[in-house]
Amino acid sequence: MASKKEKQILSKIKILLTQQFENPQEAFEFFDKNEDGNLSRSEVKELLKQAKVSKFIRGVVSTKLIEKFDESSDERIEWPEFKQAVKDIA
């Protein structure tokens, strides 16, 4: 079970995704700045910044999110992994 802090962060991400983007694909493409089909740690940190997650914890949170959702173990979040993550957050 997620801690209270984890739930708060996931809630902020959910709010960002539902209020700023038409669908998860649009959000993924927006944060995939180099258009390589993956979200790197820095791109995940930008997502967290946009979701108003404290700068103090963004680095740790980005690492934890990648660890949690990176099924291919390449230290990036690919579109299918992002889509599943969004589904898990909802």
pLDDT digits (tens, 9 = 90+) for 5-20: 888 898 999 999 999 9
Let me know if residue 69 belongs to a domain.
yes
| Beta-bridge partners for 39 | 77
In a domain, 2, yes or no: no
Does a structural domain hold residue 78? yes
Residue 66 lies in a domain: yes
CA–CA dist 66, 47 (Å, integer): 12
Mean pLDDT value across residues 75-84: 94
Looking at the domain assignment, is residue 63 inside a domain? yes
Alpha-carbon distance values, 55 to 16, 17, 60 (Å): 16, 19, 10
How many domains in the chain?
1
Instruction: Give the CATH number of the domain where residue 85 resides.
Output: 1.10.238.10
Please give the residue range of the domain that contains residue 50.
23-89
pTM listed for this prediction? 0.91
Residue type, 72: S
Q: Is residue 13 part of a domain?
A: no
The single residue listed with the structure tokens 């990648």 is 66
